[in-house]
Chains A and B, each alone.
Chain A
Amino acid sequence: MLDKLTFRGVSFAYGDQPIVAQLSFHVARGQFISLIGPSGVGKSTLFRLASGLAEPDAGQILLDGKEQQKRLGRVGYMPQKDLLLPWRTITENAMLPLELKSVPRALARAKVAEQLPLFGLGGCSDAYPDQLSGGMRQRVSLLRATLTGSDLLLLDEPFSALDGITRMEMQDWLLEMWQRLKITILMITHDIEEALVMSDKVFLLTEKPIQKIVEITPPPVSDRRERRHDPRLGPLRREIWRLLIRRAQPQPLPGREA
């Protein structure tokens, strides 16, 4: 299987604070990966590196097995905040990546119009972000990320601002999107349950600086939503909990980030 994303001996520091040290891992094409770790360990920094917003001090980051000249513009990134532009309608917000690639406006609008119903946003095309609920704004943000045309999406805590029920709906819906679009997804989350239910693999980041990743593989099932009721997750949950507690003593434990 081809790798979508590869880190090879990557090191990175903010000033004299090392965040990543000699880190290697890879993500196979088409997988759904969750990243879990205490606040401040450097999860968002890994996304900044992967998307090209930051360059490694040492090592290589490969996309599709090749070291690209420029990663900016090749990876779809969905930040924790939805970051919709308040002065633009939903359609105009979603078409931003197309606009930046100089796709003609009419074509860009048509493309968005085609996708809106799939994202559960039919009928909202001319609404403004402040007229939508949190869950809907997240979906616009995700639609925008997919319209970058990239088949690798990095989602930074996409659901952490949502209430429990909306959150579960969004999880189901994201899994559906992932299957339909056949893309690779890396998702940061603070929720062990969410990670175990949704992912092919859970990447655990326990030490700072990040030197290696502990991979946990939930049992394979045909429908991931069924995992919510799968008793086999219990031991895995305990294992993750144990690893996080053992390693991250000085850190506040898997706390919600402010």
Chain B
Amino acid sequence: MGERGQTPVIWFFASMSIFLIGWELACRLLQIPPFILPPPSAVILSLWELRGLLFGQHLWATLREVALGLCVSILFGVGLALAMNFSRPVQRIVYPYIVISQTIPIIALSPIFILWFGYSLSGKIAITILFTFFPIVVGTYDGLRAADREMVDLMKTMGATRWQIFCKLQIPSALPSFFSGLKVAATYSVAGATIGEWLGASEGLGYFGRRASGNFQAPALFASVLLLSALGMLLFGLAHRAEQRFMQKSRRYQQSLRE
């Protein structure tokens, strides 16, 4: 990474510190009641006091829903994108629905999914899939299509088969777009699981936050929100790392050979 990688991190921490200090000062100086806006110190304190519950139980419950939902989404999303790529009829039939479905407010569909899949784990996973499926399908499919037409023609003049064009041109061309979709999906997945938990659950950060909000325990509510956004950032970061790994692999490999 080197120096260029460090600078943004420093800036981030600097701005974050200013923000937190400002927030703390505002709460104290303006004497805002803690049940409206707790100061960051109260949130951290609450996070510490509730650590057993939050980290021991609720974080894991949410993480499990998110991870399972995301995995299923990737599996089926990539599968559907491939089917659309290889079969004209499938593409013709499915693609319009995918575009239309993007305009439906997903939150409105969530209760229906709870109706179908129940209040258990499968219901939460279903809603997470609902949130993450489309960015992955669209990202993967558009990426596969983005392969340069002229390059496809050139490979045909070299006698390439459809499968060879797929492996050597379409997959590498699709990676950037697939990973953009995955990054969007990674952040949406947390929202999906949280909404699933709001609609009915017995554990998870969404459930915890909603109960805290019902009891006007603002610091606990903020603590759960903090964890949820940390979870989202973590997943985004993982997707970003995977992206860099994949796209830089050949380059690194060559560089290591040269050294």
Contact = CB atoms under 8 A, between A and B. Distances in A.
A77 B153 CA distance: 10
A72 B159 contact: yes
Contacts of A225: none
Interface string A96-125: 110111000000000000000000000000
Contacts of A81: 150
Interface in B117-166: 148, 150-151, 153-160, 164
A53 B156 contact: yes
Interface stretch (A56-64, A83-91, A165-173, A237-245): A83-91
Contacts of B254: 89, 126
B258 A100 contact: no
Contacts of A99: 168
A83 B159 contact: no
Given A87-B250, A126-B258, A128-B251, A100 B153 contact: no
Interface residues of A, number: 25
Chain A residues touching B, majority SS: loop
B169 interface: yes
Given A81-B150, A99-B168, A52 B155 contact: no
Contacts of A51: 157
A113 B169 CA distance: 23
A253 B250 CA distance: 46
A72 B156 contact: yes
Nearest to B257: A126
Interface string B160-186: 100010001100100000000000000
Given A73-B159, A126-B254, 14 more contacts: A53-B156, A72-B159, A73-B157, A77-B154, A77-B157, A79-B154, A83-B151, A83-B154, A85-B151, A89-B254, A97-B159, A101-B159, A128-B251, A148-B157
29 contacts: A48-B153, A51-B157, A52-B157, A53-B157, A72-B156, A73-B157, A74-B159, A75-B157, A77-B154, A77-B157, A79-B150, A79-B154, A83-B154, A87-B172, A87-B247, A88-B250, A89-B254, A96-B155, A96-B158, A96-B168, A97-B158, A97-B159, A100-B155, A100-B160, A100-B168, A101-B159, A126-B254, A128-B251, A148-B158
